[in-house]
Chains A and B, each alone.
Chain A
Amino acid sequence: DAGITQSPRYKITETGRQVTLMCHQTWSHSYMFWYRQDLGHGLRLIYYSAAADITDKGEVPDGYVVSRSKTENFPLTLESATRSQTSVYFCASTWTATNEKLFFGSGTQLSVL
């Protein structure tokens, strides 16, 4: 019962570097999401995907790129990391658009120095 896993758990990088955060789920959920959590802002949606090869922007997509070539994977890439992208990143998934529960990964704590 692996569920939804994120890697790495912690990451330190420098400004300007490319960073990829991984998200993998074993439930064959159609929908997957990336959120970032910052003090005073709660969780804000970065990107989401309704199915493989279908992605869409959320509230704060600038500076991020996603892909979804396989249903189970939804990587998030910071093409050129900035200090403002220091945050905790959560991946989440669910079966349908109207499902009564969103399942979250454990989060990745990213620090950009």
Chain B
Amino acid sequence: AQKITQTQPGMFVQEKEAVTLDCTYDTSDPSYGLFWYKQPSSGEMIFLIYQGSYDQQNATEGRYSLNFQKARKSANLVISASQLGDSAMYFCATRPSNTGKLIFGQGTTLQVKP
């Protein structure tokens, strides 16, 4: 069965610095997707970035990039130039092939210090 592991329950980062949130996944599917979502204190789930298992290049979306290392089964999120508004819970998720459903990790709480 597919599984996502986020080993960092909480993290701090100084404003304007970069931060990496760890995510490892376990799947036997040849085709899968990897996602990151942000959940601020207001509670909504905000899509950040997607990486397909066959994508050759790491996905990037503005200040967000996904460090995809297939052999290690890791999909770390890198946030560059952290901002106070980045303080939130971050969830990594995987989508088994052709199912549509996402399987989430337990999340990492990020706090950005001024």
Contact = CB atoms under 8 A, between A and B. Distances in A.
Binding between chains A and B? yes
B12 interface: no
Contact of A42 (B35, B43, B106): B106
Interface residues of A, number: 28
A32 B32 CA distance: 19
B107 to A, nearest CB: 5
B57 interface: no
B45 A31 contact: no
A68 interface: no
Contacts of B97: 98
B91 A42 contact: yes
B40 interface: no
Contacts, number: 59
A36 B107 CA distance: 14
Interface string B1-29: 00010000000000000000000000000
A113 interface: no
B47 A42 contact: no
A59 B1 CA distance: 11
Contacts of A103: 47
A78 to B, nearest CB: 20
Interface of B: 4, 33, 35, 37, 43-45, 47, 50, 52, 91, 93, 95, 97-107
